[in-house]
Structure 1
Amino acid sequence: MGRPSKALLDLDRITSTALELVDEHGDFSIPQIAKRLGVQTASVYHHVEGRAGIIELLRARLTADIDPAGLELRPWDRAMEAWALSYRAAFAAHPRAVPLLMMAQVAAPEALAHYERAVELLLAVGFPEPVVMPLITALDNLVLGSAIDLAAPESMWAPAPDGSTPLLARALDAVPDGRRADAGFAFALEGFLAHARRTLAEAG
């Protein structure tokens, strides 16, 4: 029998298959990946460094959809806003992957490059070094939490059918259809940026 015209395994196929499983089930296993690709489990291990390696491949895949040009904008707060919006959109496309990524140390070079640029930007405009990572952590939490929220039901609250929560019902009705998650993210992002601006002013 001749050699197959296309290799059964490569990092791209492993990553795509893992992402399919995560989108469907919220998790993956290496035996599941192997079964879907029609190969032996050991063959997958020949290409990746176990589960942790695949999680970083997923991180790299999602990170590739973040526009790096956002961090080149000026002033700095416009850059951070653009980065946050693009970051959220990229990860919201696969919200079930977010919990897996949040529980693993960031090691993918593609992701680290974004963080390096963000740190460089914040230091360059005068943020004290001890403040930089808490600031980025806060933005991470905001973006990733909102990415998950985009996959949640539009109405996360079910007003009591007996009418005992009339104010909640009215507040829910006041939000335009499909805008709850976006409006909440915009509110939180502006609050984050306002606090960051005050922190920078106090540092100066």
Structure 2
Amino acid sequence: MARPRTPLLDRERIATTALRLVAEQGEFSVPQIARALGVQTASVYHHVDGRAGVVELIRERVCAGIADETLELEPWDRAMEAWARSYRASFAAYPRVIPLLMTTPVRAPRVLAQYERAVGMLLAAGFTRDRVMPLLTALENLVLGSALDLAAPEAMWEPSADTPLLADALAAVGPGRADAAFDQGLAAFLTYARSLLGEAG
């Protein structure tokens, strides 16, 4: 029998299938991926290092949408803002992967390289080493929380006659509440980060 011109299995197909499963059910298993691709589970393991390897394929796929050239912008706070907005947009496209990726260690080389650039940028801006990872983690918390918020219903509260103040506040903000909240949170983060440089000076 002639071999198929297109391989039945490769890392791209595994990543695509895993992402689809997570989007549908919030999780995946390697046997599920194999069934969806019409191959044996052992065949998947020829291409990835188990479940952890699939998670890193997903991470690379999602993070590929982050415009890492934003980290080259100057000054540093402009770079951080642009990076954060690109980061949020990439994860907002795949909100159900967020719990999966945020509870497993980052090992994907291309993703680690982006963090390396972010750390280098902050150090070059004058932040002390002990400040860098708390700052990056705080920014991630803001970005990923907001990416989940974008996937939530616009009306997350259902005011009643007993909550007129809440009803008025919701009416005042109108559509785009998630974007407005992210803008405020990012502005507050950058103000705080700038103040740390002021302390260092």
Pairing 1:202–2:180 present: no
Deviation at 1:68, TM superposition (A): 1.3
Quick one: distance in 2 between partners of 1:128 and 1:2? 61
Normalising to structure 2: TM-score of the pair?
0.98
| Partner of residue 167, structure 1 | 165
Deviation at 1:176, TM superposition (A): 2.4
| Partner of residue 10, structure 1 | 10
Normalising to structure 1: TM-score of the pair?
0.97
Residue type at the aligned position of 2:123: L
> Superposition RMSD on alpha carbons, in Å?
0.7
Pairing 1:183–2:187 present: no
Deviation at 1:5, TM superposition (A): 1.6
Give the percent of matched residue pairs that are identical in Structure 1 and Structure 2. 65
| Partner of residue 56, structure 2 | 56
Quick one: distance in 2 between partners of 1:183 and 1:109? 34
Give CA-to-partner distance per residue, 1:71-106, whole Å, 9 cap, x none. Answer: 111110000000000000001100000110000001
In structure 1, list runs of 5 or more residues that go unmatched: none
Deviation at 1:4, TM superposition (A): 1.3
**What are the within-5 Å matches in structure 2 for residues 151-162 of structure 1?**
151-160=151-160
Give CA-to-partner distance per residue, 1:105-126, whole Å, 9 cap, x none. Answer: 0111111111111110110111
Residue type at the aligned position of 2:174: P
| Partner of residue 83, structure 2 | 83
Deviation at 1:175, TM superposition (A): 1.5
SS of equivalent residue, structure 1 residue 105: coil
Report how many aligned residue pairs link the two structures.
201
Deviation at 1:6, TM superposition (A): 1.1
